[in-house]
Amino acid sequence: MEGMYETCHMHLDSIFPESTRNFLAGLDSNLSDEAKLRLRWFDYYQKTGNISLTCRYFGISRKTFHKWKKKYNPWDLNTLNSCSKRPKRVRSSKIPLETQDLISSVRKSYPAWSKYKLQVILKRDHGIKISSSSIGRILKKRNLILAKQTRRRQLAYRRKRLRPSKELKIDNFGDLVQIDTKHFWLPWGEKRYHYTAIDCLGKMKYSRVYKTLSSRKAKQFFQEVKNKFLFPIKRVQTDNGPEFALEFDKLLQKEKIPHYFIYPSTPKQNSIVERVIQTDIKEFYEQGNLAPTIEEQNNLLEIWDETYNTVRPHQSLDFLTPKEYNEKYRLKHQILRPISVTYVLDQNTVDIYPCCSQCSRYGFFV
């Protein structure tokens, strides 16, 4: 329909300007994002009056433009919405309604029984032969399937886990010790588990190998770490592996040591211990340091730990060894306080220093 107003043609579909129509489109909650994009097609077409230019600008075909131009009604913007693609005739269940009600009734009587058990009951007690898949679909349709809770999620709900945060400061030795495990196969087919603990500040580390991966072995390993490190361990950080739950976690709770778990699938939060494990693999195991027994392997690891802590320069410590950095840090922060007791070992004078102002153990420094 056209009209004349002061010798100018007027089209009814141009009564609303672009800004007003876009505003109305925003108010219409039923208008999809695709429909709003199609509305922009016709706004652009109204400005240019060129279909080819509009199609090139929006990257659509002329066929698509003409298809929606036929559907477009400027008085009803919902005509730009895509129609439902649902088939007009959908597949309906051939199972009688009485049978479906019977399945629901049996399910409500035994809510914990699976669809396989219900299949046996229906055939045995009611003479109805039906597949377990059909029973499962009926139960799902009627919301009669119980939400299954996994064992891992049950444990997660039972005790909330501490997560590392940016506010976690490391100012002294033992403020945070990271622990992790790594399994490896020996050439003769035996599987072993490599446990590693490292202090995040001084990079002092301790490693052990066990035959099994369990919280009991992790507990045993942590007790050895406490005896080897010359400072109190104030916090421990691990991943979410099962070996760091149960007995290991109970030990930390008993000793009132906070246990931080990294976020799932985020090994970079345990980057220090992950890196030292790679060092153990490249500089120790790949150099042929393998032994047939656990005892011999741990003896080799003791020698390697001594080399790592006292001989090997560390780039992150300005090419000092962990022991040198330990001594330098304590002297700089005036943590060491010599005692008046002096021992003579192998014709060498050895002074005893306290590990730190908060520690009852003592370390030997020549």
Compute the average pLDDT of residues 193-202: 93
Do 310 and 196 have their domain in common? yes
pLDDT at 347 over 80: no
pLDDT at 169 over 90: no
pLDDT in tens, 305-330: 999 999 888 888 888 889 888 888 87
Determine, yes or no, domain membership for 88: no
Determine, yes or no, domain membership for 9: yes
Backbone φ/ψ region at 223: left (φ over 0), alpha (ψ -120 to 50), beta: alpha
The CATH number of the domain holding residue 188 is 3.30.420.10
Domains identified in the chain, total number = 3
CA distance 266 to 277: 16
Do 194 and 281 have their domain in common? yes
**Residue 233 burial (C-beta neighbours within 10 Å; 0-12, 13-18, 19+):** buried
* Range of the structural domain that residue 114 is part of: 97-141
- Give whole-number Cα distances, 25 to 11, 74, 79, in Å: 20, 11, 12
Determine, yes or no, domain membership for 121: yes
pTM of the full structure: 0.52
The bridge status of strand 205-210 relative to strand 191-199 is antiparallel
pLDDT at 21 over 80: no
Determine, yes or no, domain membership for 169: no
- What percentage of the chain has pLDDT greater than the value 90? 44
Range scoring the smallest mean pLDDT among 33-37, 121-125, 255-259, 360-364? 360-364
* Contact status, residue 237 vs residue 257, Cβ threshold 8 Å: no
Determine, yes or no, domain membership for 193: yes
CA distance 324 to 263: 33
Looking at residue 161, what is its pLDDT? 80
Do 284 and 239 have their domain in common? yes
pLDDT in tens, 262-291: 988 888 889 999 999 999 999 998 888 889
CA distance 276 to 312: 13
